[in-house]
Structure 1
């Protein structure tokens, strides 16, 4: 008997972390449902491609028995990286191969979600389930959703991201602003819409750096690209600029003023993007965060340890959380759920704290006056 026998488990959020955990728990015979606010599985999945690391994301997929599905779905060549200056001069150009230490096989979020969903038992995911509240009920929880449905679970796991509804029930610790705000946009059918940048991308990623700013462009398997501008702003800059990014003319003016002196070719991204653009102030949980473990509630991924994306660790940490949590919950040496969760949370916080420290260093490095030499050194 392990700690999940005869327990009803609810996972809030159907991102890579939540779905990986669900697959791993179902392999061990758990009774588990995922509650996801998307209306169905065909909702377009936004965001750049994900590079999965051997000791975290790929390790979790291996344990989940999904490496063959991954090999069929990943995008060879998507890990190609070009580093450019603001004038568009290529300073570094490389494509990694499987034998290189830096090789990070990349997969789009949509195909990763699909292979995880396809691995689950039928009706595991309850779609259109936007959690609005969690109320103690006996030794478990009542879950209340926006569509007026309810559910019960003995154990609830928050995999519901940066604005987690679960986290405040576990700890009052808030994330800290990193000093950088991202503006994100998508350009569909990049080959015909932005041919010059499409050719430059070559199916991979571009890092353009200068003036303590970043412009990262990533190709996607559906023929679109996604771009992220990163610049130093105050924390509440978003409140004065929200409307600017639903209006193309205003967004173009903002880009020309903020990225003054950058080659005019970059403007094409804003000219051809679909609107509105998305503003993302970047936050990071404190490196020393701690809390008292609860017997029937825990969290993983961004809900537990939000961090900026500049080290490519977010999805990898979430999937490794899923692996470690599933191992703890199904380990028969733990006498109760609380001790299993305590062990998981202690090792998760320690690991995430170190990765967050590295991520903040990288965030600062990429938005410094030495950004180009720092990044070239990293790849040399």
Structure 2
């Protein structure tokens, strides 16, 4: 690890990508800190379950020596997929992917347990909580990081793992994402077995993809007994800002759903009537597929910060964890003469891989919100 000798590394963002990178670097004796804006590991509810792929997310965990911990925390059977139409009629089922070859094994794990097993793999005090990043400034031969509470930190290398709205990305490139034409509305139901029993029964602890009328409703069970759901429909870019809906008002969101998803079976009403907290509108964006920038010796990025894309290819966390693995391997590879060469090598392969996945994601986004959604998913899953 000669190119990292005497260098302090700061990772901004404590999601799966940032934590995986910290683990890989610490396995190679690097000096690394993770700066996370959350007040602590339990500061907020974690989102939907994640299916990890053999060639990316699971590969990163294998290289990080964490497969035993993963197997103790994943949810067997949670990758069960049921596809339905708006009338709640089953059009296809995909129940037994776990029984195939290992490369088709796409086990589900809740985001919370995944982050916890990664946190537990790190040295004590690696993560500096309540560190809401504000700015980067050149200092000597490195960087000064400033946080919202007035604290600062210094580092020789900074890595942005701060997600879709990355505040570090603009220090690397002015390229901005474009609107992908769709807005999701996210909600959650706690104690789903009692609060939303009919949908809970349809889920069978797996996932539901409901598609009709150029719209989607994706529902995912979680290990804590809750479920999360996401509507998807084509809107103007600033619909969530301009529509006049108060997304903290359950009645207003339910009224919008009934108007927009006209003719959908009453069973789906359970979700909106029993949602446990405010809803979150999520307009979807994608980085240009041909993006490029000039590599820097002391600043780079991974995951959504580098290659934001819509979620309909299921690659987000997998891409971030594979980025972390490949960046970690480049930075700890003694065949590279310096950090600039290592980072440039990582970024080149990362951009190529991301462009390919973004193209697939955009195709899926369009197809799943078209009249041919069900034939498309039949072909994709089979």
TM-score range for the pair, normalised by the shorter chain length: over 0.9
RMSD between superposed Cα atoms in Å: 1.0
Partner of 2:45: 45
- Larger displacement relative to structure 2 (208-217 or 367-376): 367-376
Q: Provide structure 1 residue ranges, at least 5 long, that are not aligned to the other structure.
A: none
Pairwise CA distance, 1:246: 1.4
Per-residue deviation, 1:376? 1.6
Match of 2:81 in 1: 81
State whether structure 2 residue 235 is matched by structure 1 residue 198: no
Question: What is the deviation of 1:242?
Answer: 6.1
Equivalent runs, 1:72-221 vs 2, <5 Å: 72-100=72-100, 102-221=104-223
Contact 1:215 1:229 in 2 (8 A): yes
Whole-Å separation in 2 of the counterparts to 1:145 and 1:325: 25
CA contact (8 A) 2:54 2:105 kept: no
Structure 2 unmatched ranges of 5 or more = none
2:325 maps to which residue? 323
Aligned to 1:305: 307
Equivalent residue, structure 1, for 2:370: 368
Retained in 1: the 8 A contact 2:80–2:95?
yes
SS in 1 for 2:362: helix
Q: What is the number of residues matched between the two proteins?
A: 380
Query: Equivalents in 1 of 2:322, 2:45: separation in Å?
Result: 21
Give secondary structure in 1 for the equivalent of 2:181: strand
| Correspondence for 1:258 | 260
> Do the aligned partners of 1:2 and 1:329 also contact (CA within 8 Å) in 2?
no
Secondary structure of 2:210 counterpart: strand
- Counterparts of 2:351 and 2:70 in 1: how far apart (Å)? 28
Work out whether residues 44 and 110 of structure 1, in 8 Å CA contact, stay in contact via their aligned partners in 2.
no
1:267: Cα distance to partner? 1.1
Asked if the contact 1:184–1:278 (Cα under 8 Å) also holds between the matched residues in 2, the reply is: yes
> After the TM superposition, which segments of 4 or more aligned residues of structure 1 sit over 6 Å from their partners?
none
* SS of alignment partner, residue 135 of structure 1: strand
Shift of 1:28: 0.2
Work out whether residues 173 and 289 of structure 1, in 8 Å CA contact, stay in contact via their aligned partners in 2: yes
Q: Contact between 1:308 and 1:359, CA under 8 Å: does it hold in 2?
A: yes
CA distance in 2, matches of 1:98, 1:233: 36
How many Å separate the matches in 2 of 1:311 and 1:109?
17
Shift, 1:268, TM fit: 1.1
